[in-house]
Amino acid sequence: METIIKSIYENYKNSVGIGKVADYIPPLAKVSHEKYAISVCTVEGERFNVGDWQEKFSIQSISKVFTLSLLAPLVGPELWECVGKEPSGSPFNSLVQLEYEKGIPRNPFINAGALVVTDKLLEKIPNLDDVLLDYVRGLSGSQDIHFCRDVAASEYATGERNKALAHLMKSFGNFKGKVSTVFRAYCNQCSIEMSTSQLAQAFIFLANKGVNPLNGEQVVSCRDAKRINSLMLTCGFYDESGDFAYRVGLPGKSGVGGGIVAVIPGKLSIAVWSPELNRYGNSCRGISTLADFTTELGISVF
C-alpha cells in the first residue's frame, strides 16, 4: 500500500497547471496550486500518508457527507420526501432543475439538497455548529478541527445563488427555517478545515458498516452506510459522477477546496488534496490519483 501511494505521488507531484483553483471564493484563490497530499486509512487502523498530508484545507462539499450521516439516523425515511436520490446531470447550483422539479432537489450532494439537509438538522439540533464540529472531531479522532471564519464569511457574502436556491425551495414549501440562518450554518460546515489524514480517518466508518473503529460506536446503521456509499458513487461528483465511477470505481465525495475522499467498503478510505479543479469543480490531480490507485491496487467496488 505505502509503495503504491508513494509511486503515484511521485508520478503526479509535478502535474500542475492543468486546472484552476476555486478563485470565486476569495480565500481559496490564495491557496497554492502546487499542494498535493494522499492519505489512506484501513479498517484495521493502518495509516499511510505522503505529501502535504498534515496541512489543513477547506473541505467544502465533502462536509455534505457529514451532515447527511448526522441527519439520517434522526429522521429516517421521511428525509427522502424532501430530497431525491438521483444524479443531477446539471451544475451543482442549478436553479432551472430545481424549478422544474418543484423545489425537490435531486440528491443531498448538490447545493440545494445540502441546504435542505442543513434545514432539517437545525430543526432537530439548534446548536448545530457545535454539534457538527464535535461529530467530525469524534469521527477523525482529532480535536484540532475548526471552522475557517474567513472562508465562511466570504461564502456567505458571495452566495446569492445559494440563497436563491433556498428561497425557491421555501416557495414550494420544502424549506422551513429562516434562509439567512440556514445558509450561515451551511457556509460554516463548508468552511471546516481538515488534513487528508484527518479526512481519511473520519470517513473510515463508511468503509466499516457504519462503525467508527476508533471507539466501536455505530455512527450510522449498516443500511444507512450502504445508502450513503451508493449516493456518493452516483452523485458525489456532481455532473462528473458517471465518469468518476467509470475511471475510479469507488464511492466518493469531492469539494471545491481540492479535496476528494473515497472508500473501499470493508477495506479502507483514501483522501487526496490537490487544489486545481477541472470544469466540473473536481480536483484534476485528485481524480487521476484515485484512478491509478484502484488500478494499481486491483480493487474497486466492481
Residue 149 domain flag? yes
CATH number for the domain that contains residue 90: 3.40.710.10
- Is residue 166 a part of any domain in this protein? yes
64 catalytic, yes or no?
A: yes
Selected catalytic residue, list 238, 248, 254, 288? 238
Whole-angstrom distance, CA of residue 87 vs CA of residue 280: 14
Catalytic residue selected from 56, 64, 120, 253: 64
Q: Is residue 301 part of a domain?
A: no
Of the residues 182, 186, 220, 241, only one is catalytic, namely 186
What does the pLDDT read at residue 166? Answer: 97
Residues comprising the chain, all counted: 302
Lowest average pLDDT, out of 78-82, 191-195, 266-270, goes to 78-82
Active site residue 256: yes
Mean pLDDT of 212-233: 97
CA distance 41 to 274: 18
pLDDT tier at 89, thresholds 50, 70, 90: confident
Summarised one tens digit per residue, pLDDT across range 14-41 is 999 999 999 989 999 999 999 999 999 9
Structure confidence at residue 97 (pLDDT): 87
20 close to 277: Cβ distance less than 8 angstroms: yes
Largest CA distance in the chain: 54
Query: Residue 12 catalytic?
Result: no
pLDDT at 94: 79
Active-site residue, selected from the candidate residues 31, 40, 256, 263: 256
Residue 93, domain member (yes or no): yes
Query: Could you tell me if 234 and 106 are in contact, meaning their C-beta atoms sit under 8 angstroms apart?
Result: no
> Which residues lie below 8 Å from residue 46, measured CB to CB, with a gap of 6+?
1, 40
Residue 302 maps to a domain: no
Domain that holds residue 263: 2-296
pLDDT digits (tens, 9 = 90+) for 49-75: 999 999 999 999 999 999 999 999 999
Question: From the candidates 39, 58, 61, 197, which is the catalytic residue?
Answer: 61
Is 78 within the bounds of a domain?
A: yes
Question: Is 186 tagged catalytic?
Answer: yes
- pLDDT single digits (tens) 243-275: 999 999 999 999 999 999 999 999 999 999 999
Report the alpha-carbon distance of residue 21 to residue 168 in Å, rounded.
Answer: 29
**Structure-block grid coordinates of residue 175:** 424549506
pLDDT score recorded for residue 291 = 97
pLDDT band at 284 (very low <50, low <70, confident <90, very high): very high
Specify the number of domains making up the chain: 1
Give the 3-state secondary structure of the chain: CHHHHHHHHHHHCCCCCCCECCCCCHHHHCCCCCCCEEEEEECCCCEEEEECCCCCEECHHHHHHHHHHHHHHHHHHHHHHCCCCCCCCCCCCCHHHHHHCCCCCCCCCCHHHHHHHHHHHHHHCCCHHHHHHHHHHHHHCCCCCEECHHHHHHHHHHCHHHHHHHHHHHHCCCCCCCHHHHHHHHHHHHCEEECHHHHHHHCHHHHCCCEECCCCEECCCHHHHHHHHHHHHHHCCHHHHHHHHHHCCCCEEECCCCEEEEEECCCEEEEEECCCECCCCCEHHHHHHHHHHHHHHCCCCC
pLDDT at 92: 72
Indicate the residue type of 298.
G
Q: Which residues contact 298 (CB under 8 A, 6 or more apart)?
A: none
Higher pLDDT, residue 226 or 239: 226
221 occurs within a structural domain: yes
Output the pLDDT for position 301. 86
What are the cell numbers at 232?
Answer: 456518493
Q: What is the mean pLDDT of the chain?
A: 96
Whether 9 is a known active-site residue: answer no
Q: Reply yes or no on whether the pLDDT at 206 is more than 90.
A: yes
The pLDDT of residue 219 is above 80: yes
Which phi-psi region, left, alpha or beta, contains residue 89 (left: φ > 0; alpha: ψ -120 to 50)?
left
Strand order across the beta sheet in which 57-58 lies: 57-58, 192-194, 146-147
Q: What are 122-157's pLDDT values in tens digits?
A: 999 999 999 999 999 999 999 999 999 999 999 999
Q: What pLDDT shows up at residue 185?
A: 98
Residue 204 lies in a domain: yes
Amino acid at 58: S
The answer, yes or no, to whether residue 93 has pLDDT greater than 90, is: no
Categorize the per-residue pLDDT at 88 as very low, low, confident or very high, splitting at 50, 70 and 90: confident
